[in-house]
């Protein structure tokens, strides 16, 4: 069976380093850190005082006010990023293509702020004061649902929930939908708005968050003095199309998506499998799926959370898959600037990988100061690097042992 080639034609982003693609990209390659003191929760209640929050986001710029009121923030982020991506792709959805245009958007924890606020109302005033929109605002699939409703996409409509791999799995799953011919175009990526008391409490008690009080230095992937991740929020949405569909309408093409790998560790609820065994299999699957040689991969946008075992084991996994070439390729973690967007991380980082190919620039890993002997690869320390990028990989590894890798290449 011949598989459709699949290309990226539109990008949209809401992020801690900018609420459009060009602002985000320019800030990342200039090493701008979008982390600051947390404002959405009372920092006095937590040992962690910092977060990577989205700034100056107004949902009314992207949707009707009455619609926005019926959406949790994670859904608003997704709708905004999807609108930007569709505009960027110059893709209009109408009767002629609606049934062949799908949506696949992941979220790790969905509408946490809605859940918390409505539960407080329930405790205070009883069930009659709970909003009738409580359930449809909270459930993680509603970002995909609302994007479909807002823009009229009637094809396959789905949501992957695989913790911090949700965005990457969603893009991979959407890629496969087009590749096998079940849709011509997909609106896909990840979204998350986790700045709530319970999210902060949960990740704090899990020992996952950095306690570093300097926001600009706290996220330090692969550095020996890393002490946990910094929570972030936002959305990253891509428009994928079959090459034939994109060519027929004269669309601009950023890159080709050519490989997807997805595995399970079968090991632990939060800790990655020793030596990154599961992550290595996901990367290998992506390379095999793309049919490229391992030594053709130029750049990896790492999961790189700034936690002890993740960074060490992802490094090990890269060495397992790429062998000697692991020391030739470059790998950076943009979470050093954006924080960790949880289920949205893979959406944002897929966009970064695509832009690294388009612009031949590898964004830096900021705050890389003290090398760790167990993390000994080229992490593009502290400064972006101009270099030909023909093939780029994006990795995401989630609680529950979910591993996902995407491979993009220059479109020829």
Which residues belong to the active site? 164
How far apart are alpha carbons 309 and 222 in whole angstroms?
Answer: 10
How far apart are alpha carbons 234 and 245 in whole angstroms?
Answer: 29
Q: What share of the chain is helix, strand, coil (3-state, %, to 5)?
A: 40, 20, 40
Q: What are phi and psi of 286, to 5 degrees?
A: -60, -45
Q: What are phi and psi of 248, to 5 degrees?
A: -60, -35
The number of residues in the chain equals 412
Contact (Cβ atoms closer than 8 angstroms) between residue 34 and residue 51: no
How far apart are alpha carbons 44 and 34 in whole angstroms?
Answer: 21
SS3 category, 186: strand
DSSP string, 275-297: GGHHHHHHHHHHHHHHT--GGG-
Q: What are phi and psi of 309, to 5 degrees?
A: -80, -35
Helix axes 345-359, 166-179, angle to 10 degrees: 60
First-last CA distance in the chain: 22
């Amino acid at each position: 069976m011949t598989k459709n080639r699949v290309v990226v034609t539109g990008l949209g982003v809401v992020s801690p380093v900018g609420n459009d693609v060009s602002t985000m990209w320019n800030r990342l390659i200039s090493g701008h850190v979008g982390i600051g003191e947390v404002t959405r929760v009372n920092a006095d209640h937590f040992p962690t005082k910092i977060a990577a929050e989205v700034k100056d986001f107004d949902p009314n710029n992207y949707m009707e006010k009455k619609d926005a009121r019926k959406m949790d923030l994670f859904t608003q982020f997704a709708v905004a990023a999807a609108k930007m991506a569709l505009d960027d792709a110059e893709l209009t959805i109408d009767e002629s293509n609606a049934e062949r245009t799908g949506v696949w958007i992941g979220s790790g924890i969905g509408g946490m702020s809605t859940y918390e606020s409505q539960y407080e109302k329930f405790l205070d005033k009883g069930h009659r004061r709970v909003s009738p929109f409580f359930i449809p605002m909270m459930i993680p699939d509603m970002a995909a649902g609302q994007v479909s409703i807002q823009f009229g996409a009637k094809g396959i409509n789905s949501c992957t929930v695989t913790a911090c791999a949700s965005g990457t799995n969603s893009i991979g799953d959407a890629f496969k939908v087009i590749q096998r011919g079940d849709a011509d175009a997909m609106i896909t990526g990840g979204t998350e708005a986790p700045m709530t008391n319970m999210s902060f409490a949960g990740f704090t008690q899990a020992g996952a968050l950095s306690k570093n009080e300097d926001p600009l230095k706290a996220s330090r992937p692969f550095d020996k003095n890393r002490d946990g991740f910094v929570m972030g929020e936002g959305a990253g949405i891509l428009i994928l199309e079959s090459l034939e569909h994109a060519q027929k309408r004269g669309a601009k093409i950023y890159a080709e998506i050519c490989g997807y790998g997805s595995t399970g560790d079968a090991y632990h609820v939060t800790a990655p499998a020793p030596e990154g065994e599961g992550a290595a299999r996901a990367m290998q699957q992506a390379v095999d799926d793309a049919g490229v040689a391992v030594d053709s991969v130029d750049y990896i946008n790492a999961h790189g959370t700034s936690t002890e075992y993740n960074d060490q084991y992802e490094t090990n996994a890269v060495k397992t898959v790429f062998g000697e070439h692991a020391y030739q390729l470059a790998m950076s973690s943009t979470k050093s600037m954006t924080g960790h967007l949880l289920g949205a991380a893979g959406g944002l980082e897929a966009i970064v990988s695509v832009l690294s190919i388009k612009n031949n620039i590898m964004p830096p890993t900021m705050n890389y100061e003290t090398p760790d002997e167990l993390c000994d690869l080229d992490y593009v320390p502290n400064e972006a690097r101009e270099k030909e990028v023909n093939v780029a990989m994006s990795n995401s590894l989630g609680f529950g042992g979910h591993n996902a890798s995407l491979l993009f290449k220059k479109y020829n």
